Amino acid sequence: RLLDLDAEARAAHLDAIAAEDAALAAELASLLTDAARAGDAHFLSGWGGLPDSPAPAAPPSLAGERIGAYVLEAPLGQGGTGVVWRARRADGRFEGTVAFKLLHLSLIGRTGALRFEREGAILARLEHPHIARLLDAGVTPIGQPYLVLERVDGAPIDRYCDSAHLGVVDRIGLFREVLDAVAHAHRHLVVHRDIKPNNILVGRDGHVKLLDFGIARLLQDDAGAITRDGGQALTPHYASPEQLRGDALTTATDVYSLGVLLYQLLAGRHPTAPERATPAEVIHATLETDPGRLSSAVTVSGRLPPDALARIASA
C-alpha cells in the first residue's frame, strides 16, 4: 500500500504507523529504501543502465489477450490486490463489456490471493440492483485468479451530483440507493469497509452501483492472517475511528463512512478534516474533532456574505 502512494502521502502514512508500532514502521522504511535502490538499479528489468545499453522496452500489454471466454481490451484501473480491465466475451454467449479483475502476479500463493478469493465468495452471496454483480470467476493457465464483474459506465457519486447540479432532494435520493445496497450487504453479514465516492458510481440510467468489495469481510469470518493482512487497508478520509484505531469492526463501521459521504454530498466538505489535509491530519481530525452541525457547515460561523452562500449553494 505504501508503494502505491506518492512521497508525501507515504511519509504521512508511515508516521501514522510509527505512532502505533515503531518497530513495524522502521522495518517498512527499510523495505522502502531497498525498493528505491532496486528501482534505481533497474533490478530484474533486463537493463543494467550502462551508457551504451538500450533503454528498457515497455512491458508487453495484455490488450487483445484471451483468457477463458474473455478478451481483454483496455485497463480501467488497479488497486492493492489486482488490476481491472475492460473486456468482452468472445464465445458469442452475450454481447457487451465486463470488468475483468486479475490478481497481481506478485500475490499468487500469498494472503493477497486468499483475500481475492474471499472477495469473489462475498460477491457471490450478494444480489442487489445497486451492487455490481459477480458474473464469473476462474484461474488463468499460469495460476492467476480472476473475477468477472458487471461493468458500470458512470461517474463517482460526488462528481455526478456536482456536474449535474443536483439539489438536496435528488442527492438524498441517490444516497438512499446507497443505503439500500449497504443494508443488503449487512443483512448478508458483509461489512464493506471502504465506502467512498470512487466506489459508488452513478450510471447512465441515473442509478448508483456499489463497487469493490476487495477489503470487505464477513462478520462471522475468523480468517486470521487474511483479516490481519487487510486490517489496515482503508481510505483515511472515510475510515471510521475504530478502523483507524485497529479496533473490532461491526456494521457501524460502514454507517460512519456513509455519514461522511452524506455530509460531503450536502455540504461539499469533510465533516472534520480541513481542505487539502494530509492523511495524518485527516486521521487526527477523525479521532479528535467533533463534526460541526450539517445545518451550519457552509456558513462558517456567519462570516460569509449572503451572495457567497448563494454561489456555494448553486455549485
Q: Is residue 212 annotated as a catalytic residue, yes or no?
A: no
Nearest-angstrom CA–CA distance, 12 and 64? 39
Do the Cβ atoms of 32 and 24 come closer than 8 Å?
Answer: no
Q: What is the largest CA-CA distance in the chain?
A: 66
Do the Cβ atoms of 205 and 152 come closer than 8 Å?
Answer: no
- Candidates 245, 241, 214; CA nearest to 230 is 214
Nearest-angstrom CA–CA distance, 38 and 266? 46
Do the Cβ atoms of 235 and 282 come closer than 8 Å?
Answer: no
Burial class for 255, CB neighbours closer than 10 Å (0-12, 13-18, 19+): middle
Do the Cβ atoms of 192 and 216 come closer than 8 Å?
Answer: yes
Query: Sign (positive/negative) of CA torsion 127, 131, 136, 139?
Result: negative
Task: Given the residues 91, 180, 194, 290, select the one marked as catalytic.
Answer: 194
Angle at 131 between CA 159 and CA 189, to 5 degrees: 120
First-to-last CA distance in the chain? 34
Query: Which residues are tagged catalytic?
Result: 194
